[in-house]
Structure formats: C-alpha cells, structure tokens
Amino acid sequence: MNNPAAASLIINNSNAAYCPRVSQLTCFAPEWASLNYIARQIGKDSVTFRNEVFDDLVGQRTGFKSLFTEHDLGWNHWIGSTLVFRPEVRWEHSYDVPAYNNGTKKSQAMFAADMIWFY
C-alpha cells in the first residue's frame, strides 16, 4: 500500500497489503491452509462434508492474526436434468482472537443456498 511504484496497480476496495512500517515498501503475508472434502452420492443427489484449516500468520489475509477452521455440510439436489438446488450449513471459528461480527465473536454459523441452471 505504501509503495509508490505499485500505486497505479492497486484496485479500489481490494484490501491492499499493509507493511508494518510506513517506510517499508514490500513485505510478506505468510499463510497456510488445508482443505478436505468427503462426498457421497445418494441416487441423483449428493451430500458433501468439508473441513478447512487456515492460519493467517500475520493477519494480512483476513485482518486477524489467527488460526481458523471451517466445517461445512452441503446437499446437491437435482430438480429434473438441468437444475441443481444446493443448500449448505457452515460453522467457522477463530482460535486466537475474535474475528467475526466486527471483531466481537470467535465463531459464526451460516446457512446459504444457490441454484445452478445447466443450459
């Protein structure tokens, strides 16, 4: 963010990287993650269980220096041969600091759904 050579490359509202010192023009944003999917087809439908571990080592990626986990259960339901309804429920947790609800909670639950139309 402080590097004048990169100023023209920064996209508005893209959460550009901030280095610890204003005079520092480049810095690193180390992180690591692991993701696991387990899926089972049941007739035309399928159920998916997903686990993720993500460690934002310096807080550059998420805004919070913390280890995060996510657990997701999803269902793919075919309606005819061209429409898929996909609801899911997910639980997320930050182990080191409150990272959800404007930094006031360590966990959050989410329900979402979408539909895909194949044409």
Give the model's pLDDT for residue 27: 73
Give the model's pLDDT for residue 60: 82
Residue 50 bridge partners (DSSP): 37, 72
pLDDT < 70 positions in the chain: 1-25
Give the model's pLDDT for residue 101: 94
Relative to beta strand 107-117, strand 31-42 is unpaired
Question: Where does 1-119 show beta strands of DSSP type E?
Answer: 31-42, 45-56, 66-79, 83-94, 107-117
Rounded to whole angstroms, what are the CA distances from 64 to 10, 49, 96?
21, 26, 9
Kind and range of the H or E run holding 107: strand 107-117
Give the model's pLDDT for residue 93: 98
